[in-house]
Amino acid sequence: MLMKIDANAFMPMEMPVMTETHEEERLMLNEIYELLAQEPLDAELIDTKLDALLHHTEVHFERENRNMLIIEFRPYPVHKDEHDMALSAMKAVINQWKLNRNLKVLRAYLETELPAWLQQHIATMDMITARFLKMYQDKGGELDFS
Ligand SMILES: [Fe+2]
């Protein structure tokens, strides 16, 4: 069965730029799911797409972290912690996959664990963060989503 993350799976944010970033990752994941269901498997191409996903996620988290610091957001350490843990999990799974080519483990992570994490993180940490970033911006504050 081909896995797909639905278009409405991730809660929209009060900061459209954050919604766009999450949407990009949803599309990247859906593209990877197609590669994971292919036979024969193109492991090299999967590696490339996984590296791109990791890079995108790093930039995504850094941008949120940076803007939380700009607005001196109190829950910053908690939110950043979730990012750090998710990122090290992603790195570990990708490295393992490159070493052992265990498709079952990779699929369990990409198709179950990661989307569940994203959905939950977006609906909690990101939702409240976006709300405070928007309030800061509405009061004339400058954010940095470069
Ligand atoms: Fe986040």
pLDDT digit string (tens) for 85-112?
A: 999 999 999 999 999 999 999 999 999 9
Residues 6+ away with beta carbon under 8 Å from 17: 145
For ligand 1, the distance from its centroid to the CA atom of residue 42, given in whole angstroms, is 31
For ligand 1, the distance from its centroid to the CA atom of residue 128, given in whole angstroms, is 10
CB 17 within 8 A of CB 126: no
Q: At what angle do helices 114-121 and 76-100 cross, to 10 degrees?
A: 170
For ligand 1, the distance from its centroid to the CA atom of residue 100, given in whole angstroms, is 30
For ligand 1, the distance from its centroid to the CA atom of residue 123, given in whole angstroms, is 10
Architecture of the domain delimited by 16-138: Up-down Bundle (1.20)
Long-range contacts of 57-65 (CB under 8 A, 24+ apart): 57/25, 57/86, 57/87, 57/90, 58/87, 60/21, 60/25, 61/86, 61/87, 63/21, 63/144, 63/145, 64/18, 64/126, 64/129
Q: What is the pLDDT of residue 2?
A: 87
For ligand 1, the distance from its centroid to the CA atom of residue 76, given in whole angstroms, is 10
pTM: predicted TM-score of the whole model, two decimal places: 0.96
Render pLDDT for 3-44 as a digit per residue (tens, 0 to 9). Answer: 999 999 999 999 999 999 999 999 999 999 999 999 999 999
For ligand 1, the distance from its centroid to the CA atom of residue 88, given in whole angstroms, is 14
For ligand 1, the distance from its centroid to the CA atom of residue 124, given in whole angstroms, is 9
By CB atoms closer than 10 A (0-12, 13-18, 19+), residue 59 is: exposed
For ligand 1, the distance from its centroid to the CA atom of residue 41, given in whole angstroms, is 32
- Percent of the chain scored above 70 by pLDDT? 100
